[in-house]
Chain A
Amino acid sequence: MDPENPQLGQLLVVVPAHNEEDSLADVLKTTKEFGYCVVVVDDASEDNTGRIARNEGALLIPLANRLGAWGATQAGLRYARARGAGIVVTLDADGQHEPAHIHELTAPLLVGTADVVIGSCPIRVSRLRRWAWHYFRWLTGLNAHDLTSGFRAYNRHAVTVLSSSDAALLDYQDVGVLMLMRAEGLRVQEVPVEIGSRRNGISRVFPSWWVVARYMLETTVLCVSHLHIPGSRRGDDRATVATRDAPRRHP
């Protein structure tokens, strides 16, 4: 399967990456073993991320400027929409997400019970981050168990919504994107999956406490400004997150 000319309705895997030369090759090899078309969005990396993507046979979208995780993901979604992909799966380049779980994510999309499926593993995060999630759930009324998982599957309707300029000024793929999905009436489902730890140390999204503090402030402003009004416009209480099974707990 050729990511440059996917068949109409094909599944495309989008991997946003910034300075992930240590783990990208393994992620791409494993993903391609399952026969998936892979698009790597190189978010202005300063290392060999782009070269590795090309060497592994993935289609490379090299961004001229760093847009961040969501900006890079949206670039991949726009590409997928332009090429008529039927389902898009996003997974991280740091090796946390197992391509073997992709079929679990896509199953609800194929039977038509969801527009977006989130691979959920809330037990992987620290207590501090769980507190932050609890705080944002309280502010927004969102009921997703895993707010920040980048392991998601989108159908064509969801790709259209999230490719739009309404989503272009979001900086992160978590709360803001989930609120937009709710506002647009997308059906979101969570599926429990195993998510590992990063293969190499520092988070690209939260490299320091200062960045974390700014994230908390900016996301709070976003949540307060988008206070959910039940029954307003396209959003209503149908678009809550459904969890297929309870999250697994490791011993």
Chain B
Amino acid sequence: MISYEWTSGVIGLLIAGTILFLVRRRRLHGPYALWWLGVSAAILLISLFPQLVNQVAYRLGISYPPILSVLIGIGLLLVKILTMDIERSRQELRVRRLTQRLGILDAEIAQIKDRIHRTSPATVPFPPGNANQQMGESATDAPRENEC
């Protein structure tokens, strides 16, 4: 039978490896990786020093030490979820303000093009079209979802 030190050690290493892989593939933004690497480091620490949980639990008056790890894990997950919601709220605010600003800019660009076209059609710098085409994308390159 495999000891739990090996099991938790392997789990910690797998988490660390997965996080680094996700950062390498640009699926996970580097600063967010720090939290998860901290989690894997904590798991590795417990696997290397299994008596640590028992000692801390004893000092805190917890009669069943393994439940301390579970409690801490659940607590950290709650903190993580809460901070994610706070960050999402901040991003939601930014997305809404950006969307409004883009809409305003699109309207102003359309007005300017229209004014130029009416006054001197021969000198229109860009053909009528949507603003995305001005950013180097051809008409056949539909923007991917979440791609600006």
State whether B34 touches A217 (Cβ < 8 A). Answer: yes
B135 touches which one: A5, A78, A166 (CB < 8 A)? A78
User: Which stretch of A16-24, A123-131, A218-226, A243-251 is in the interface?
Assistant: A218-226
State whether A218 touches B30 (Cβ < 8 A). Answer: yes
B residues less than 8 Å from A163 (CB atoms) = 136
Q: Which residue of A lies closest to B38 (CB)?
A: A217
State whether B136 touches A82 (Cβ < 8 A). Answer: yes
For the complex, what is the distance from the CA of A82 to the CA of B126, rounded to whole Å?
Answer: 12
217-243 of chain A: CB within 8 A of chain B: 217-219, 221-222, 224-226
State whether B134 touches A169 (Cβ < 8 A). Answer: no
For the complex, what is the distance from the CA of A222 to the CA of B22, rounded to whole Å?
Answer: 11
State whether B135 touches A82 (Cβ < 8 A). Answer: yes
Task: Give, as a whole number of angstroms, the nearest-CB distance from A234 to chain B.
Answer: 14
For the complex, what is the distance from the CA of A64 to the CA of B105, rounded to whole Å?
Answer: 12
Q: Does A32 have its Cβ within 8 Å of any Cβ on chain B?
A: no
A residues less than 8 Å from B136 (CB atoms) = 78, 81-82, 163
Q: Which residue of B lies closest to A62 (CB)?
A: B101
State whether B30 touches A221 (Cβ < 8 A). Answer: yes
Q: Which residue of A lies closest to B94 (CB)?
A: A65
Q: Is the interface of B mostly helix, strand, loop or mixed?
A: helix
Q: Does A208 have its Cβ within 8 Å of any Cβ on chain B?
A: no
For the complex, what is the distance from the CA of A100 to the CA of B31, rounded to whole Å?
Answer: 37
State whether A226 touches B24 (Cβ < 8 A). Answer: yes
State whether A5 touches B33 (Cβ < 8 A). Answer: no
State whether B24 touches A64 (Cβ < 8 A). Answer: no
1-28 of chain B: CB within 8 A of chain A: 19-21, 23-24, 26
B20 touches which one: A81, A166, A225 (CB < 8 A)? A225
Task: Give, as a whole number of angstroms, the nearest-CB distance from B32 to chain A.
Answer: 10
Chain A window 97-138, contacts with chain B (Cβ cutoff 8 Å), 1 for yes, 0 for no: 000000000000000000000000000000000000000000
A residues less than 8 Å from B42 (CB atoms) = none
A residues less than 8 Å from B33 (CB atoms) = 221, 225
Q: Number of A interface residues at 8 Å Cβ cutoff, please give it.
A: 20
Task: Give, as a whole number of angstroms, the nearest-CB distance from B14 to chain A.
Answer: 15
Task: Give, as a whole number of angstroms, the nearest-CB distance from B11 to chain A.
Answer: 19
Given contacts A82-B136, A225-B21, contact A5 B125 (CB under 8 A): yes
Q: Does A171 have its Cβ within 8 Å of any Cβ on chain B?
A: yes
Task: Give, as a whole number of angstroms, the nearest-CB distance from A12 to chain B.
Answer: 14
B residues less than 8 Å from A64 (CB atoms) = 94, 97-98, 101
With A64-B98, A82-B134, A222-B30 given, name 19 new contacts (CB 8 A): A65-B94, A82-B135, A165-B147, A166-B26, A169-B26, A169-B29, A214-B31, A218-B31, A218-B34, A219-B30, A221-B20, A221-B23, A221-B30, A221-B34, A222-B23, A225-B23, A225-B30, A225-B33, A226-B23
9 residue pairs from A and B, CB less than 8 Å apart: A5-B125, A65-B98, A165-B147, A169-B29, A218-B34, A222-B23, A222-B30, A225-B19, A225-B24
9 tightest CB-CB pairs across the interface, nearest first?
A225-B23, A225-B20, A225-B24, A82-B136, A218-B30, A82-B135, A222-B30, A169-B29, A221-B33
